[in-house]
Amino acid sequence: MSQTGYIIIAISIVVILVALFTISFVAYVKTPAPAGCEAGKGPNCENCEIASCRFYASAEERAAKKRQEETMAGKE
Amino acid sequence: MEYVISFILAIISYMVIDNVILARYFGICSFIGVGNKIKSSIGMGLAVFFVTMMAALVCWPLYNFILVPAGMEYMETIVFILVIASLVQMVGFFIKKKSMSLYKTLGIYLPLITTNCAVLGVAESNMAFDFGRSMANALGTSLGFVLVIFIFACIRVKLEGSNLPKAFKGVPIALIVAGLMAIVFMGLGGMINLGTWGLI
Amino acid sequence: MDQKPSKLKVFLDPLCKANPLFVMILGTCPALAVTTSLESAIGMGLLFTFVVFCSNLIISLLRKVIPEEVRTPCYIVVIATFVTVVKLLSSTFLPELYSSLGVFVSLLVVNCIVLGRAEAFASQNTVVDSMLDGLGNGLGYTWAIAAIALVREVLGTGTLTFGKVFTFIPKFTLPILSGYSGSDFSMAIPLFKSSAGGFLVLGIALAIIAAVNNEKERKAKEKARAEKAAAAAAAKGGNN
C-alpha cells in the first residue's frame, strides 16, 4: 500500500477510537449514579486521597479546610 | 504440561517476585492514596484487576493484528490509552445502569483507573510477549496489585493508633512502610528462576 | 473576586511552594522508577517538562473551543499526542536515554501532574500564564527527581557517572564514596539502588519537608501570640 493509504488508516483508527471514547464518556457521565453512592459523597471517599480523582479537592483547598478546622478547635 | 507449569510459575513470579507496586513502581499513586479502609482497598484492587485483564485482552490482538501489519507501531501509546479509557467508561456505564451493589464496591473506582499506571504499563510491556505470556503478565500483575494493596491497608489500620512523630504522619510513613514491604518481597527473589523454564 | 496572581508567582510557585512532587505528592511512579541514576532522572524531567509545557499551551489555546462535557477525552488525546512526539524524538536523538527510561516515557500519558495541570490551570487561564505554569511545574518536578536521584545514586553506587545517557558529553565518573583508583574501598549501600531504597528516600524527604513546615507554622503561631499579648498589654497600659 502507498504511504497515503497508511496515513489514512492511522487517522481513521484514531478518529474511530476518539469517537468511541467520547460517546462512552458522555454516556457514562450522563447516567445518574444509583442513589446513595454518588461520587464524592460515598462512604469510601472520606479516606481516599487519590489526587487524580476529579472529585478530589486540590491540595490548597485541603490545607485551607484543615486550617479552618484547627482555628475552630482553637476557639473552642 | 510443561506449558501449563511455566504459565503458573510466570503468574507467581509476576505476582510476588516482580511485584507491580514494590518492584516495578506502577500504580503507586493509587496505592498511597487509597488510605486505610480495608473495604475500599479491596474495591480498588478488584477494579484494577478487572480493567487490567480486559485491557490486556483487547490491546494485544489490536497491536499484533492491526498496528503491526500496517506498520504503525508508533501509535501504540495513543491507541492504548484511548482503548483503556473507552473500556473503563463503557464498563462503568453498564455497571451504573445495571447493578447498584457492583457499582458500590468497584464502580466508583473505575474512572480513577484510566490514570492508573499499572493498566497502561501492563499493556505496553505485553507487546514484547506472546499471547500466553502476556495473559500471565496481566493476571500475575493484577493479582499482585490486589495482594499488596490489601496488606498495605491492613498495616495502615494498625498505624492509625500508633504514636508517630508528627512529621512522619500520612504519606511519609506510608512510603517507609512500602519500602519495608519491598525489602520483604525482595527476599522472595530467588524462589523461581524463570530462565530454567525458558520464560526469559 | 480574588485577584489574578502575577506572572512571576505563576512560574515560581511550582518550583518550591507548590512543588508537584514534594508538596502535592503527585507523579510518584516515575519519581521512584527512574531515579537510580542522576542523568536519567534529569532526562526524564526534561521530557516531562516538554510534555506539560506543550499540552498546557495547546489546551489553553483550545479552552474556549472544547465543550465542558467532553474535556477529559480532549485532554487525554492532546497529551497522548505529545507523549508520542516525545517518544519518537527521544528514541531517535537520545536512544540511550529512551532505553534507560523504558516504558516510563509512555506512562507520561497517565502522569497525574500533566492531566491535573490541564484540568486545574490550563483550562481556565490565558496562554502565557499556562505556558509559564507548565514550565514551572516541569522544572520543579525535574529538580525534585534530580535531588532524589542524586541521593540514591551516591548512596547506592558510591559514584556519580556522567555521559552514559547523554552521549554528547564525554563520559566521566566522580568517585564520592568508592571507586578511588587502586583501592577496593567502597561505602556504597546497594539497597538504595533497589526499589526499597527509593521508597525510603522519598519517605524521608517528605518527612523532612513536613518537619520544616511544622516548625515554620509553630514559629508563626508563636509570633502571632506574642504580638497579640503585646497589643493587649499596650491597650491595658493606655486604659490606665
DSSP designation for B16: I
Least confident of B70-84, C171-185, C208-222: C171-185
Asked if residues A47 and B38 have their Cβ atoms less than 8 Å apart, the reply is no
Mean of pLDDT values over C142-151: 94
Nearest to C69 among A29, A52, A54 (CB): A29
pLDDT band at C1 (very low <50, low <70, confident <90, very high): very low
Is C135 inside a domain boundary? Answer: yes
Domain enclosing residue C84, as ranges: 7-192
CA-nearest of B118, B148, B147 to B56 is B118
Mean pLDDT in chain C?
88
CA-nearest of C115, A33, C230 to B29 is C115
Q: How far apart are CA B3 and CA B93, in angstroms?
A: 38
Q: Which chain B residue shows the shortest CA-CA distance from C198?
A: B179
CA distance A16 to chain B (A): 10
Domain enclosing residue A20, as ranges: 3-75
pLDDT band at C82 (very low <50, low <70, confident <90, very high): very high
pLDDT recorded at residue A67? 67
| Helices (runs of H) and strands (runs of E) counted in chain B | 9, 0
Report yes or no: B45 at the A interface, CB cutoff 8 Å: no
Strand (E) or helix (H) holding A3: helix A3-30
pLDDT recorded at residue C150? 94
Is C221 inside a domain boundary? Answer: no
Asked if residues C50 and C143 have their Cβ atoms less than 8 Å apart, the reply is no
pLDDT in tens, B21-35: 888 888 887 888 776
Nearest to C26 among A25, A51, A54 (CB): A51
Mean of pLDDT values over C77-100: 93
Residue C161: strand pairing partners: C173
- Per-residue pLDDT for A50 more than 70? no
Residue C170: strand pairing partners: none
Q: What is the 3-state secondary structure (H, E, C) of B109-171?
A: HHHHHCCCHHHHHHHHHHHHCCHHHHHHHHHHHHHHHHHHHHHHHHHHHHHHCCCCCHHHCCH
pLDDT in tens, B145-185: 999 999 998 998 888 888 889 888 888 999 999 999 999 99
CA distance B187 to chain A (A): 30
Return the partners of chain A (3 or more C-beta pairs < 8 Å). Answer: B, C
pLDDT recorded at residue C81? 93
| C-alpha grid cell, residue C72 | 477529559
- Per-residue pLDDT for C238 more than 70? no
Mean pLDDT in chain B?
86
pLDDT recorded at residue A73? 67
Least confident of B68-77, B147-156, C101-110, C170-179: C170-179
Q: How many other CB atoms are there within 10 angstroms of residue B193's CB atom?
A: 12
Is C202 inside a domain boundary? Answer: no
Nearest to A10 among B34, B75, B96 (CB): B75
Structural domain count, chain C: 1
Q: Please indicate whether, in this complex, the C-beta atoms of A58 and C70 are within 8 angstroms of each other.
A: no
Is C225 inside a domain boundary? Answer: no
pLDDT recorded at residue B178? 92
pLDDT band at A54 (very low <50, low <70, confident <90, very high): low
pLDDT band at B200 (very low <50, low <70, confident <90, very high): very low
Model ipTM value: 0.89
CA-nearest of B30, B41, B32, B26 to B174 is B32
- Per-residue pLDDT for C191 more than 50? yes
pLDDT band at C176 (very low <50, low <70, confident <90, very high): confident
Q: How far apart are CA B137 and CA B123, in angstroms?
A: 9
Query: How many CA within 13 A on the CB side of residue C45?
Result: 27
Q: Please tell me which residue, A45 or B190, carries the higher pLDDT value.
A: B190
CA-CA distances (angstroms) from residue C60 to A24, B93, C93?
A: 25, 30, 29
Q: Please indicate whether, in this complex, the C-beta atoms of A51 and C70 are within 8 angstroms of each other.
A: no
Asked if residues B35 and A49 have their Cβ atoms less than 8 Å apart, the reply is yes
pLDDT in tens, C21-74: 888 888 888 889 999 999 999 999 999 999 999 999 999 999 999 888 788 888
pLDDT recorded at residue B37? 76
- Per-residue pLDDT for A43 more than 60? no
- Per-residue pLDDT for A60 more than 60? no
Report yes or no: B36 at the A interface, CB cutoff 8 Å: yes
Nearest to A49 among B35, B75, B83 (CB): B35
pLDDT recorded at residue C211? 93
Asked if residues A13 and B79 have their Cβ atoms less than 8 Å apart, the reply is yes
Is C57 inside a domain boundary? Answer: yes
Is C78 inside a domain boundary? Answer: yes
Structural domain count, chain A: 1
Q: Please indicate whether, in this complex, the C-beta atoms of A25 and C73 are within 8 angstroms of each other.
A: yes
CA-nearest of B107, A56, B76 to C84 is B76
pLDDT band at A75 (very low <50, low <70, confident <90, very high): low
Q: Which chain C residue shows the shortest CA-CA distance from A56?
A: C116
